[in-house]
Amino acid sequence: MIQLTTATHETAAALLARVFLGMLFFLQGYDKVFRVGVKNVIETIHTPLESKGIPNLVSKTGAYFTSYVELICGGLLIIGFIKYYSLYLLGIDVLFAAFAFGIVEPMWDMRHIFPRLLLIIILLLLPSQWDRISVDYLWSLIKFIKSIS
């Protein structure tokens, strides 16, 4: 029988949180980029933001930024490559979405954004040693082995 240790639980927790968050963002970005289309996303958010005085350039930039950051950084989180940079960009993405929703409707429903924000914060606070099943961890092992050779 396999002995499950605290290190196993830590690794599993980091892996589940990272991959789950990555899937949420990746699938949302995929939908925006390939199914709905960024131009349709812009059309959807442009009118409500414009009515609140937000310039068209801001809504267009935000739509492109959020769509591609969610797609690319979500995918990078799934495989565990450049995790911290991805989390920082996704944090900015969540802040931008919160700003846009807050401008349009100050008492907006946070049920989709708040769990993502919490997972971003948790992943930023977890010790990097816990995230052993990732490209970043493999890369660090390769660099370490080369340094001692």
- Pairwise CA distance, residues 58 & 118, whole Å: 26
Is the pLDDT score of 4 beyond 90?
Answer: no
The candidate with the shortest Cα–Cα distance to 131, out of 66, 80, 57, is 80
What percentage of the chain reaches a pLDDT higher than 70? 99
Answer yes or no: is pLDDT of 123 > 70: yes
Q: In 3-state terms, what secondary structure has residue 110?
A: coil
Q: Please give the mean pLDDT across all residues of the chain.
A: 93
**Does pLDDT of 131 surpass 90?**
yes
Q: 123 and 19 in contact (C-beta within 8 Å)?
A: no
pTM of the model: 0.91
What is the rounded CA–CA span in Å between residue 144 and residue 128? 15
Calculate mean pLDDT across residues 28-39. 97
DSSP annotation of 129 reads G
Res. 1 pLDDT band, cuts 50 70 90: low
Say which residues have a Cβ less than 8 Å from residue 138's Cβ, sequence separation at least 6. Answer: none
- Which amino acid makes up residue 40? N
What mean pLDDT is predicted for residues 65-89? Answer: 98
Q: Compute φ and ψ for 68, nearest 5 degrees.
A: -80, -35
Q: Is the pLDDT of residue 72 over 80?
A: yes
